[in-house]
Chain A
Amino acid sequence: MLTLFGVFILSLLVITAVGIVRATNLFAAVMLAGLFSLQMAAMFFILDAADVALTEAAVGAGVATVLLLSGLALLDDAERQANRSRWLAVAVAVATTLLMVYATFEKPRFGDPQAPANLHVAPWYLENTPELVDIPNVVTAILATFRGYDTLGELFVIFTAGVGVLFVLAARRRDARFAQLPNADAQGLRHHLVPRVVGRLLVPFIVLFGLYVQFHADFGPGGGFQAGALVSAGLILYALLEGERAALAALSFRVLAGMIVTGALLFVGVGVAGVLMGSNFLDYSVLGSTPVAGQHVGILLVELGVGITVTGVLLTIFHAFAARASER
């Protein structure tokens, strides 16, 4: 029965992707992309990837749609109809698809426990997590401890993207321009009473849920990336409802830049603390009284660093777009 559901959602994915490519109105294309992400999250959950489903739903269907829409507010709404022939592109795409479909007949059977992907490191991680790290969520253990270097690298990629957006959109505000940003009584926001009331009710709960997801990474699906996306989604909701000026007065660009830097420093600091205590970089065993306790402390601090930086970067990107839109 679950297979039938999976087949249904996969077909819907292909239809939605074709819809995105063919939609002339860019607003419709962006909304279809949000729909695509939500279907992808459902598919991930069917394939037993709970953490990934949570991340895709929070990031892809939530924050990505908002960022694309806030960018689209600065651009044209419609795609111009191309007038040159596209048969070569179609032919190349179809030929490559058929080639890949031919290759899939060589793949190991779906779900085979003896497939090469499931053989080498994965059983080792599943067996050794209880004694080395002692937390139930194996994905968090691998992300924060066994493959901590990768996570450090990914964190710096996100950091660089945030810094890059700030460079490109030049988001230093001088005070005179700051005063011109619309506040909650400006024309567009005055009429939206019901969303503002409901939004003010919900924002604390969204942020609370984000913090819950952050600190329960050990026991269930969760972690820094998802928590960062959820908290920033709540704060973006606040910015949408109360206006740019109120949101930037609450969390200015300086505070957000501080958040981005603090998270990255926290992660690297935990690694350096390992070195200062006489062991390797990013070795958490020396941070506590026993190795397992040290692992717990290390994972907590590292996930916190990731969560803070992701929140800061997503909020910075949103405010960089929104403040630019308001000053036109």
Chain B
Amino acid sequence: MSLDLVSDVLSWVLLLAGGFFVFVGGVGALRMPDFYTRMHAAGITDTLGTILVLAGVIVQAGLSLATVKLLAIGVFLLLTSPTAAYALANAARLSGLRPEDGAGSPQGDD
């Protein structure tokens, strides 16, 4: 069991898992009934998908300058994408879009 084989298998697993979660986020963004639930689904792409895909690539890069750059990209993405998702949801809330409950009727303002 050489180190190469272990790192290859590990990065395959991480990349496939990341790809699966991005796909789940995409399906959720299409199929969910309401704006807020769609944002919730798309948020998975921002965080879990990013972390897994970047971890998979970092395992491949080993200890080198590329890893530092990938970590910097990861930090930047984790800072900005959830903020953008929050800003979208906040803007929708402020302009009066109301979430629906399970029965499909709008809830009152809290």
Contacts and interface: CB of A to CB of B under 8 A. Distances in A.
Direct touch of chains A and B (CB < 8 A): yes
Interface of A: 188, 191-192, 194-195, 198-199, 201-202, 205
22 contacts: A188-B94, A191-B90, A191-B94, A192-B87, A192-B90, A194-B83, A194-B86, A194-B87, A194-B90, A195-B83, A195-B84, A195-B86, A195-B87, A198-B79, A198-B80, A198-B83, A199-B83, A201-B79, A202-B76, A202-B79, A202-B80, A205-B76
Nearest to B86: A194
Contacts of A192: 87, 90
Contacts of B79: 198, 201-202
A322 B48 CA distance: 36
A198 B76 CA distance: 11
Interface of B: 76, 79-80, 83-84, 86-87, 90, 94
B32 to A, nearest CB: 18
B12 to A, nearest CB: 14
Contacts of B76: 202, 205
A38 to B, nearest CB: 14
A201 B78 CA distance: 13
A195 B83 CA distance: 6
A198 B86 CA distance: 11
B84 to A, nearest CB: 8
A47 to B, nearest CB: 21
A188 B95 CA distance: 10
A194 B90 CA distance: 10
B45 to A, nearest CB: 14
A202 B83 CA distance: 12
A199 B80 CA distance: 8
Contacts of A194: 83, 86-87, 90
B76 to A, nearest CB: 8
A318 B83 CA distance: 22
A197 to B, nearest CB: 9
A201 B83 CA distance: 12
A191 B79 CA distance: 19
Contacts of B90: 191-192, 194
A296 B16 CA distance: 46
Nearest to A241: B87
A163 to B, nearest CB: 33
A192 B88 CA distance: 10
A192 B86 CA distance: 9
B23 to A, nearest CB: 14
Given A195-B86, A201-B79, A202-B80, 11 more contacts: A191-B90, A191-B94, A192-B90, A194-B83, A194-B86, A194-B87, A194-B90, A195-B84, A198-B79, A198-B83, A202-B76
Contacts of B87: 192, 194-195
A285 to B, nearest CB: 34
Contacts of B86: 194-195
Contacts of B83: 194-195, 198-199
A166 B84 CA distance: 31
Closest 9 CB pairs of A and B: A198-B83, A195-B87, A194-B86, A195-B83, A191-B94, A194-B83, A198-B79, A191-B90, A192-B90
A171 B56 CA distance: 50
Contacts of A205: 76
A198 B90 CA distance: 15
B80 to A, nearest CB: 7
B27 to A, nearest CB: 17
Nearest to A188: B94
A201 B75 CA distance: 13
A298 B47 CA distance: 44
Contacts of A201: 79
A150 B41 CA distance: 48
A99 to B, nearest CB: 37
Contacts of A198: 79-80, 83
A194 B79 CA distance: 11
A173 to B, nearest CB: 28
Nearest to A199: B83
